Amino acid sequence: MPLKFRSPYTPMPMHVLHAYYESTDRSLKTLELSFDDPEDSRTFFEQFNPGQFCLLSVAGKGESALGVASAAWEGEFVRFTAQKMGTVTKALHELKAGDPIGMRGPLGNGFPLEEWKGKNLVIIGGGCAFSTLYALTKHIHHEANRAEFGKLTLIYGTRTSGLCMYKHDIASWHESEDMEIHQAIDVPEENWLHHVGYVPDVVRQVAPSPVNAVAVVCGPPIMTKFTLPALVELGFDPKAIFTSLEKRMKCGLGKCGRCNLGHKYICKDGPVFSLAELNALPADL
Amino acid sequence: MNHLLNKQSLPELLQAWRADYDVYLPQRLEGFSHFMLLGDQKIGLPDRPHNTRVPPKALFLPMTEALVKYTRFGAYKDAELKVNPRIVFAVRPCDAQAVQLLDSVFEQERYSDPYWVERVDQTITIGLGCASGCANGFCTTVGYGPFSKDGLDALLTDLGDRYLVGTLTKAGEALFEKLDLADQATAAEAFEIQHQAHESMPIAFETENLKEKLQQNFSSTYWEQISESCLGCGVCTFLCPTCFCFDLVDETQRRERVRNWDSCMFRIYSQEASGHNPRPTRVERTRQRLSHKYVYWLDQIGQIGCTGCGRCVSYCPVGLDIRAMLRQAQSLPFEVNHAS
């Protein structure tokens, strides 16, 4: 018998629109997906908020949670960047334009953009975790939304220049008068014109003002661990510091149990939390 | 309404229900009691052994179940579900309470689970109260009881050669309406049995400030002490009536995405693709299990997420006892006004 209401476990049918490598070492691949069913597209974009994630599904392999790396204004597609790590992400890397794929989402809370309106934004990303911050930056930088926010500062670090994602937009943002961008790599390279060093140190060096500002941090756990205190040192209130967390996930709906942090589920109640919220939760990351 | 049901006429009544319902009741099999679908077989009374090994949560959240079917070409559809109207008979109050707790996980405003909801909607649950205490149970310690009515449509009290049937919902009443009503004296007798049963349950540990103590001692060596002999077999979670964690696995032969029970006591449960594991040893995993029941459930819905059924105590292969763990927790230091 058919189910009485739509199962949140069943993926929506999607197709790969574009698939391309994001990094020179081919460890990162970007997929842009289109909706097979216009109704799915409609409901997706009704709910979508930058900072949310989806579960990408490869039949026979399983599902992987990935942050959405596109802004709604870009069109009726959804972008993800997957690092090749395990069974599912390996399968994702083998997909090419025209291949079918399943998707569930958007899931999670996303960034509290309403709360941030009128504030200066300091966006700090590291490595491939930059994907949702890229979606956020694209959303804010768009002419339709830009006036709602104050000064925009972007700090983005990667191990090497080859691992820098979304190079086209990053290059154009360096030219933009509308935002301040600081790029960093971990070790020196020839012809590198930007910062060399780890993200927490670059944050200290750039020293963004905490006045009427919020900071958003998303990166590998080790980067986040050292960047959050750097922001506190600079005078940012824990309520004005945000980060997006990740844990192993299966359902994405707050039911399968494994991504809990105290009484919160990262999938359902997060993935975006303020430092003030995190300070009240157990250190179970 | 209070009715009287002779034990002798129980098999007949159960068989009569089969015309309209699938009937499940605990039956003894290979030394353990299990919830089984009633067929034409001769049945035994459902009161011994005291409780089933696998809790009746398995009737709502099966150990394994297909949720999604997919084709070779990557198209997905819901796995279909057919649940006949059913009666689950002789559910112990601790287990009925547990199903009600699990409702808060699976039936939510956002993301309700259609499989869980359908099974619950199709089920009438008849409880059998525990007139005599069970071996390792501690229901009254955690705020529930041997005759708790939560999650039940009717509750039976054993009066020797008959049951007093207290019906609690319309659906429950409809099943028993043809039976004689109990007179006042019999109802009073049953009430006294219920009262005595409640009073005779030992208080296994104090729950006052227990949440604060566990919460504030997150980094204490207490967790090492209580987890040292744990084998990590996961039986405490598999047989727990309130544990609901699951895995989703693609079974390629059947082309199905399957939900299987999982356990926070397993290392791979929280192991991330990068190799990082937030709960790498039994210490963190034991802390997660106890904190979930005695801290996180309270933060989420204001109730302890353990109904005191005692299965984790009875079936632990190395004799770990949650009651002893929590008695030990009572001596942990804590601050009353700590922000929690």
Residues 155 through 214 of chain B touching chain A, CB cutoff 8 Å = none
Judging by DSSP bridges, how do beta strands A28-35 and A12-21 pair with one another?
antiparallel
In this prediction, residue B49 carries a pLDDT of 63
| pLDDT exceeds 80 at position B322 | yes
Residue A133, number of CB atoms within 10 A of its CB? 26
Nearest C-alpha in A relative to B275: A85
Low-confidence ranges of chain A (pLDDT < 70): none
Under 8 Å between Cβ of B206 and B214: no
Judging by DSSP bridges, how do beta strands B86-91 and B22-29 pair with one another?
parallel
In this prediction, residue B338 carries a pLDDT of 52
Under 8 Å between Cβ of B282 and B263: no
Whether residue B296 lies within 8 A of chain A, CB to CB, comes out as yes
Under 8 Å between Cβ of A278 and A243: yes
Whether residue A247 lies within 8 A of chain B, CB to CB, comes out as yes
Are B74 and A86 an interchain contact pair (Cβ–Cβ within 8 Å)? Answer: no
Nearest C-alpha in A relative to B278: A285
DSSP H helices, A49-178, are 87-93, 113-116, 131-141, 167-175
Whether residue B302 lies within 8 A of chain A, CB to CB, comes out as no
| Cα dihedral B270, B275, B278, B282 sign | positive
In this prediction, residue B78 carries a pLDDT of 96
Min Cα–Cα distance to chain A from B165, Å: 33
Determine which of A251, A255, A261, A284 to mutate to test the interface with B (most B C-beta atoms within 10 Å). A255
Min Cα–Cα distance to chain B from A122, Å: 27
> Model confidence over B216-275: pLDDT tens digits?
999 999 999 999 999 999 999 999 999 999 999 999 999 999 999 999 999 999 999 888
In this prediction, residue A149 carries a pLDDT of 97
In this prediction, residue B307 carries a pLDDT of 97
Which 8-state DSSP code applies to residue B129?
A: -
Whether residue B228 lies within 8 A of chain A, CB to CB, comes out as no
| pLDDT exceeds 60 at position B339 | no
| Cα dihedral A157, A162, A163, A169 sign | positive
CB neighbour burial string for B256-294, b if at least 16 within 10 angstroms, e if fewer: bbbbebbbbbbeebbbbeeebbbbeebbbbbbbbbbbbb
Whether residue B245 lies within 8 A of chain A, CB to CB, comes out as yes
| Cα dihedral A39, A41, A46, A51 sign | positive
Query: In A, which residues are within 8 Å of B61 by CB distance?
Result: none
Question: What's the pLDDT band for B337 if we cut at 50, 70, 90?
Answer: low
> Model confidence over B57-69: pLDDT tens digits?
999 999 999 999 9
In this prediction, residue B48 carries a pLDDT of 67
Kindly compute the dihedral angle of the four CA atoms of residues A174, A176, A177, A182, in this order, to the nearest 10 degrees.
-30
| pLDDT exceeds 90 at position B16 | yes
CA distance B306 to B326: 12
Least CB–CB distance from B67: residue in A9, A58, A246: A9
A-B Cβ pairs (cutoff 8 Å, strict): 140
Query: In B, which residues are within 8 Å of A63 by CB distance?
Result: 248
Nearest C-alpha in B relative to A103: B76
| Cα dihedral B173, B177, B183, B185 sign | negative
Nearest C-alpha in B relative to A251: B248
Strand, helix or coil for residue A181: strand
Q: What ipTM does this complex have?
A: 0.92
In this prediction, residue B134 carries a pLDDT of 85
Whether residue A84 lies within 8 A of chain B, CB to CB, comes out as no
Nearest C-alpha in A relative to B298: A263
AA letter at B27: Q
CA distance A227 to A184: 14
Are A247 and B278 an interchain contact pair (Cβ–Cβ within 8 Å)? Answer: yes
In this prediction, residue B340 carries a pLDDT of 45
Q: Which residue has the tokens 């039936």?
A: B107
How many Å separate Cα B315 from the centre of its chain?
15
